[in-house]
A = this chain, B = another copy of it.
Amino acid sequence: MDEKDVTYMQAALEEANKALAKDEVPIGAVLVDRSSGEIVARAHNLTRHLCDPTAHAEIALIRSRAKEVGAQRIPDHDLYVTLEPCPMCASAISYARINRVIYGAVDPKSGGLSLESGPNLYSKAALHHKPETCSGILADECGEILSNFFKNKRHSKKLAEK
């Protein structure tokens, strides 16, 4: 694990906390320009606020950066995200030609990449460009913010049912 990877993932976690403050599923992401090492875009999940099931953090990053550089492909970028990308985001990351995807917590239930029995998308011919992947950076922190969020939701639901 590189020290820089931790710094970038901390920035992604800050984004996840912004989602949490808005009562959105707390997932955050940042996009890093590989040549400068700078974070060029930051985003968090906003599906509820935007009434948009595609408004995941990764999709927001890709759309904003691609528009900024004026091309539908943005190679030479690395994407840091607190949770393993879902199949939708894993595909979009491939179409955007992003180099590396670094994620914190693994998502064995709904992830698009890690599970052999799952979509396991970067092992499939359907996606031409297969980004490098790396997992486990700040995995505990990235996972805890999510599990606490869902635990609180279940608790509130139980209270409301009483």
Q: Which residues of A contact B (CB under 8 A)?
A: 47-48, 50-55, 59, 62-63, 66-67, 69-73, 86-88, 90-92, 95-96, 109-112, 115, 117-119, 121, 124-128
Q: What 6 pairs between A and B have smallest CB-CB spacing?
A: A88-B91, A53-B95, A87-B91, A53-B72, A53-B96, A47-B72
Which residues of chain B are near A91, meaning CB under 8 Å?
A: 86-88, 91, 112
- State how many angstroms separate the Cβ of A108 from the closest Cβ of chain B: 9
Q: List 19 extra interface pairs beyond A51-B70, A109-B126, A117-B125, CB under 8 A.
A: A47-B72, A48-B72, A51-B66, A51-B67, A51-B72, A52-B63, A52-B66, A52-B67, A53-B62, A53-B95, A54-B92, A54-B95, A87-B91, A87-B121, A88-B91, A110-B126, A118-B126, A119-B119, A119-B121
Residues of B within 8 A of A127 (CB): 87, 110
Contact status A119-B126, CB under 8 Å: yes
Distance A73 CA – B55 CA, assembled complex (angstroms): 12
